[in-house]
Amino acid sequence: MNLVERVKGIILSPKTEWPVIAGEPGDASYLFSNYVAILAAIPAVCGFIGRILIGGSIIGGLIAAVIGYLLTFVAVYIVAWIINLLAPSFSSQKNFESALKVAVYSYTPSWLAGVFLLIPALGFLKILGLYGLYLLYLGLPPVMKTPPEKAILYTIVIVVCAIILAIVLGAIVTAILGVGLFM
């Protein structure tokens, strides 16, 4: 898999890219080291630079970037676990490697939109990462073998679980490190 071609394919032609992805192995170490590790660095690095530009603490910004980067791996893994766990409830094939592929590639727009964190005034454009919800919806039928009529509800349940996960992870980080550390 060529990273640039995969990103281009999943963003610009997801309906044809998902069936290709479905036929590939979903090796976790490969996906994390060759895709997540690279793309998840975009919001971490850009967010760090953006914090520094507005006068934030270098140490606080670096800690936030590292923690955010590492939590990305945790979040992707847990979302994949949730996708796999819920699969039978939506008449889908239970297969963790497939669930991991869906989770990893659905996060692509969010990571790419992280480039807007370079300029804090453009940070609101990170909302473009919500395109990943559509990618998730499109990816479930070919990769998880979800019946098309169940894909929308499956997507909604996954998204709700991912939001809860983000809130919990954010609360844990805040409880451990404190609210004012990153400024």
| 76-97 per-position pLDDT tens digit | 999 999 999 999 999 999 999 9
| 23-34 per-position pLDDT tens digit | 999 999 999 999
Q: Does residue 74 fall inside a structural domain? A: yes
The radius of gyration of the chain from alpha carbons, rounded to an integer in Å, stands at 17
Q: Can you give the residue range of the structural domain that contains 70? A: 25-182
Q: Does residue 105 fall inside a structural domain? A: yes
Q: Does residue 12 fall inside a structural domain? A: no
Q: Does residue 9 fall inside a structural domain? A: no
pTM: 0.92
